[in-house]
């Protein structure tokens, strides 16, 4: 199946194999090429996780997803992570419960809290590098991840 569009996020092609897995090949992104930065998105809203993943992959990040604090903690022990996008409220728990795990397992990782419940930005907790209010503009999220990626590489 061939699909072409215009613009910076144009897909070169969309290939659906016999296992019904989709492989998206991005413009300028070669098969097997790995991203330099891994971002963990910890968000219980599946549609928001998907939105973050797809847009960050377009920016050439490797993206891991977790819908619970426990799943995120498991991924942090198993995978290299450079940037964590952490929802403040994840499946009935407070996302900041994960901060000690992040600092123990991935001390170089940069952390951005996401929240849609506060009218003002909360004071950043120890070890938190940024705050993004939901709903957010994708370009704002991408710019924040770029900044935090550079910060993580400098640690």
Using the predicted structure, report yes or no on whether residue 29 has a pLDDT greater than 60. Answer: no
Domain regions of the chain by residue span: 1-31, 34-154
Question: What is the overall mean pLDDT for the chain?
Answer: 80
How confident is the model at residue 121, as a pLDDT?
60
* Ranges 52-56, 96-100, 132-136, 150-154: which has the least confidence: 150-154
Using the predicted structure, report yes or no on whether residue 107 has a pLDDT greater than 50. Answer: yes
CA 11 to chain centre: 20
How confident is the model at residue 16, as a pLDDT?
32
Res. 27 pLDDT band, cuts 50 70 90: very low
Highest mean pLDDT among 64-68, 91-95, 133-137: 64-68
Closest CA to 98 of 139, 128, 61, 124: 128
Judge contact between 66 and 38, C-beta under 8 A.
Answer: no
Judge contact between 68 and 86, C-beta under 8 A.
Answer: no
d(CA 9, CA 55): 9
Look at domain 34-154 and name its CATH class. Answer: alpha beta
User: What digits encode the pLDDT tens for the residues 48-71?
Assistant: 999 999 999 999 999 999 999 999
Res. 95 pLDDT band, cuts 50 70 90: confident
**For the whole model, what pTM was predicted?**
0.77
Q: Is 64 helix (H, G, I), strand (E, B) or coil?
A: strand
How confident is the model at residue 58, as a pLDDT?
96
Using the predicted structure, report yes or no on whether residue 115 has a pLDDT greater than 50. Answer: yes
- The DSSP H or E segment spanning 55 is helix 46-58
């Amino acid at each position: 199946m061939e699909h072409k569009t215009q613009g910076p996020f144009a897909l070169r092609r969309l290939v659906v194999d016999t296992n019904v897995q989709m492989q998206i090949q991005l413009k300028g992104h070669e098969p097997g090429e790995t991203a330099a930065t891994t971002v963990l998105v910890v968000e219980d809203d599946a549609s928001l996780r998907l939105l973050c993943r797809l847009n960050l992959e377009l920016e050439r990040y490797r993206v891991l997803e977790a819908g619970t604090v426990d799943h995120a903690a498991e991924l942090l022990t198993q995978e290299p992570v450079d940037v964590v996008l952490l929802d403040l409220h994840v499946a009935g728990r407070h996302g900041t419960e994960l901060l000690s795990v992040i600092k123990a397992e991935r001390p170089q990782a940069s952390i951005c809290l996401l929240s849609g419940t506060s009218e003002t930005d909360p004071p950043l907790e120890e070890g938190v590098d940024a705050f993004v209010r939901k709903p957010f503009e994708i370009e704002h999220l991408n710019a924040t991840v770029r900044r935090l990626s550079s910060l993580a590489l400098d640690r």
